[in-house]
Amino acid sequence: MRKATVAQARSLRRRAPTTEQLLWRLLRDRKLDGLKFRRQFPLGPYVLDFVCLRHRLIVEADGPLHDPDRDRERDLWLAGRGYRVLRFRNEDIHRDGPVQAAILDAIAVPHADFDV
């Protein structure tokens, strides 16, 4: 299972949609307030779009094909492991100011420490 998930993550990195590429430009190389984000990070049965492990914060780009019921189930699984999920619609991602502010607001709120 782990090998398949890692292979899937690598494949997703290579064929990232435009909105994920925009988010990655914002988050990569500690550009946003020095935060270290990882891209297409496998965790359990899921591959996360972006994750800051230090703050246990997940950032997801929700395109038109996202299934809200499946996302809710996934978010509950991740929350059970101590992660918070921020979801952004494509139109929000094209305006990076609100996205940056939402991410910075989320890390400003203390969150319990859990082991990964």
Q: Is 114 a member of any domain? A: no
Q: Is 115 a member of any domain? A: no
Q: Is 45 a member of any domain? A: yes
CATH number at residue 95: 3.40.960.10
Distances (CA, A) of 62 to 20, 21, 66: 9, 13, 6
Q: Is 116 a member of any domain? A: no
Question: What percent of the residues of the chain are helix, what percent strand, and what percent coil, each to the nearest 5?
Answer: 45, 20, 30
Q: How far, in Å, CA of 72 to CA of 56, rounded?
A: 18
Q: Is 22 a member of any domain? A: yes
Contact 39, 28 (CB under 8 A): yes
Question: Which tokens belong to 34?
Answer: 């020095």
Q: How far, in Å, CA of 98 to CA of 115, rounded?
A: 30
**pLDDT for position 28:** 94
Containing structural domain, residue 46:
2-108
**pLDDT for position 15:** 56
**pLDDT for position 58:** 98
Number of domains in the chain: 1
Contact 57, 103 (CB under 8 A): yes
pLDDT by residue for the chain (116 residues), tens only, comes to 456 666 665 565 555 567 888 899 999 999 999 999 999 999 999 999 999 999 999 999 987 777 889 999 999 999 999 999 999 998 888 886 899 999 999 999 876 654 44
